[in-house]
Amino acid sequence: MTNYASPITIPHDTSVPGKFMIKIGVANQASSAYSYEVELQVQIDTGSCGIVIPATALYRKNDSKDSTTGQTACTATQLALMPLLPGVTTTYEPATIVYQPSGDSIIGFYYYIAELGIGDDGRGNPLVIAKNVKVMGATSASPFMMGVGFDRPLIADNAFLADLTTADNNSTPLYPSYYLDHQTVELGLSPSNAFAFQTLAVQTQGAPGTYQDWNWNTPQGAITVANAEATLLTTTPVSLLIDTGLDLMMVNNMGSLFPVPGTDSSWDAANITLEFNANSAASVPSCFSFPLTGTAQAKLSPGGASLTLVYTTENSAVTIAEAALPLQDSSSVSTPAPTLVHVISSGGSSQNVGKPFINTGFNPLFAYGMIFDPTGNQVGLKSLSLTR
């Protein structure tokens, strides 16, 4: 039986709720202790899978250990003139990703990091080491993202599910799991009965021994909608994805079951309840509700993109001067309601095309903690009013 280290809390920037900004980077080991070659700040994203960082951060170019800012756009010819950091290799295999709903398209190459550091101990050193992680090095502008989701295209490895050890002298293995709520990022937490678990079907079984290149189906649940008079409008089974990359909710492939904003006034003040399925009649609640408050025009992508009519909620922040909702304005959000609800006719991963699918955004993590346990092929939710 493996003796696992105690779970490790990864510090993150809490100044903007839901951003989940943590430190990662190429690590090296000297005298049994690890330090960073280069330290980056990235956003944890459960709506994608794979680390996407500037390719230039993987090369020796100066004495700085902070590559969060600076030049990110680079050609393969320019990269080939620079030496790679120790422990980093590449064959310049092309890579690409498109983030939604912004439509940001990123191109670059695949790189392999022998020892990826995660977290910061307050002295510029990593807390956890992930072994042999495939990442995408962007040669266009990079969003500094750390995708750890499932039922997403496998852009690169899920570093939270790699072979993890503590970064101290003992290099003790961590249980393969991650836990998130609105104020906590934790690696190595063992599952417990504090959570209501749902078993997920395995889509892609990767290399044995780790789970960084595996993939699972989206959790299943239901959406129930009632009007302002509490008259039931619809209850529909759906796939439910908690996405830390968004503060809005996206509704896909529901047709007349979730009308486009502005087409049915009875929905403008409807009450939405989302419930995650559990394996059994667990005592842990796994649902939350919020009311819609009307409709408004929202700008869902940067630049000169056209406005989109969306449903608003109690967390919507209308910019009167522009008559539009900002894509991200979560600084004052503290409830499970999304900042807005965007209804689209199709999209999501290939597994979800044509199926009712809801991307909840990160906001449910104000009410629930979420654990992903790949050993048991399961995701679990626990009420934050309960103790672990």
Looking at residues 237-256, what average pLDDT do you find? 85
Top pLDDT among 165 and 99 is at 165
**pLDDT, tens digit, 9 for 90 and up, residues 278-308:** 886 555 667 788 899 999 888 777 666 678 8
Is the predicted pLDDT of residue 323 greater than 60, yes or no?
no
Top pLDDT among 332 and 68 is at 332
Those residues whose C-beta lies under 8 Å from the C-beta of residue 68, and which sit 6 or more positions away, are 40, 41, 144
Q: What pLDDT is recorded for position 113?
A: 97
Those residues whose C-beta lies under 8 Å from the C-beta of residue 292, and which sit 6 or more positions away, are 267, 268, 269, 270, 271, 272, 311, 312, 313, 341
**Integer Cα distance of 297 and 306 in angstroms:** 9
The answer to whether 182 and 18 have CB atoms below 8 angstroms apart is yes
Segments in the chain forming alpha helices (H): 76-80
Q: What pLDDT is recorded for position 248?
A: 86
Closest by Cα among 102, 385, 338 to 240 = 338
Least confident piece of the model among 159-173, 194-208, 305-319: 305-319
**Integer Cα distance of 291 and 295 in angstroms:** 12
Q: What pLDDT is recorded for position 303?
A: 66
**pLDDT, tens digit, 9 for 90 and up, residues 12-35:** 987 776 778 999 999 988 766 788
Looking at residues 232-245, what average pLDDT do you find? 87
Q: What pLDDT is recorded for position 177?
A: 95
**Integer Cα distance of 277 and 257 in angstroms:** 20
Strands 378-383 and 88-89 turn out to be unpaired
Read off the tokens for 178: 């991650």
**Integer Cα distance of 26 and 87 in angstroms:** 8
Query: Is 206 buried (19+), middle (13-18) or exposed (0-12) by CB count in 10 A?
Result: middle
Is the predicted pLDDT of residue 328 greater than 60, yes or no?
no
Top pLDDT among 104 and 22 is at 22
Closest by Cα among 174, 88, 184 to 130 = 174
Q: What pLDDT is recorded for position 160?
A: 96
Question: Residue 265 phi/psi, 5° resolution?
Answer: -65, -20
Q: What pLDDT is recorded for position 380?
A: 92
Is the predicted pLDDT of residue 270 greater than 60, yes or no?
yes
**Integer Cα distance of 374 and 244 in angstroms:** 19
Q: What pLDDT is recorded for position 271?
A: 92
CA atoms within 13 A on the CB side of 140: 10
CA atoms within 13 A on the CB side of 285: 12
Looking at residues 56-70, what average pLDDT do you find? 62
Q: How confident is the model at residue 185 (pLDDT cuts 50, 70, 90)?
A: very high
Is the predicted pLDDT of residue 72 greater than 50, yes or no?
yes
**pLDDT, tens digit, 9 for 90 and up, residues 29-57:** 876 678 898 899 999 999 889 999 999 89
Q: How confident is the model at residue 379 (pLDDT cuts 50, 70, 90)?
A: very high
Query: Is 287 buried (19+), middle (13-18) or exposed (0-12) by CB count in 10 A?
Result: middle
Q: Which of 72-86, 198-212, 285-299, 339-353 ranks highest by mean pLDDT?
A: 198-212
Least confident piece of the model among 121-135, 192-206, 283-297, 344-358: 344-358
List, as one string, the DSSP characters of 62-120.
SS-SB-SSS-----HHHHHTSPBPTTEE----EEEEE-TTT--EEEEEEEEEEEEEES-
Looking at residues 129-152, what average pLDDT do you find? 89
Looking at residues 330-341, what average pLDDT do you find? 70
The answer to whether 273 and 224 have CB atoms below 8 angstroms apart is yes
Q: What pLDDT is recorded for position 327?
A: 40
Least confident piece of the model among 3-7, 100-104, 331-335: 331-335
Single-letter residue type at 93: E
Mean pLDDT over all residues of the chain? 83
Is the predicted pLDDT of residue 63 greater than 50, yes or no?
no
Is the predicted pLDDT of residue 157 greater than 90, yes or no?
yes
User: What is residue 360's three-state secondary structure?
Assistant: strand
Domains within the chain, CATH numbers bracketed:
8-190 (2.40.70.10), 220-383 (no CATH)
Closest by Cα among 64, 34, 60, 247 to 125 = 34
**Per-residue DSSP letter, 142:** -
Q: What pLDDT is recorded for position 319?
A: 40
Q: What pLDDT is recorded for position 67?
A: 47
Place of tokens 């399925």: 277
Least confident piece of the model among 217-221, 280-284, 360-364: 280-284
Q: Is the peptide bond prior to 83 cis by the omega test (within 30 degrees of 0)?
A: no
Residue 120: Cβ within 10 Å count: 20
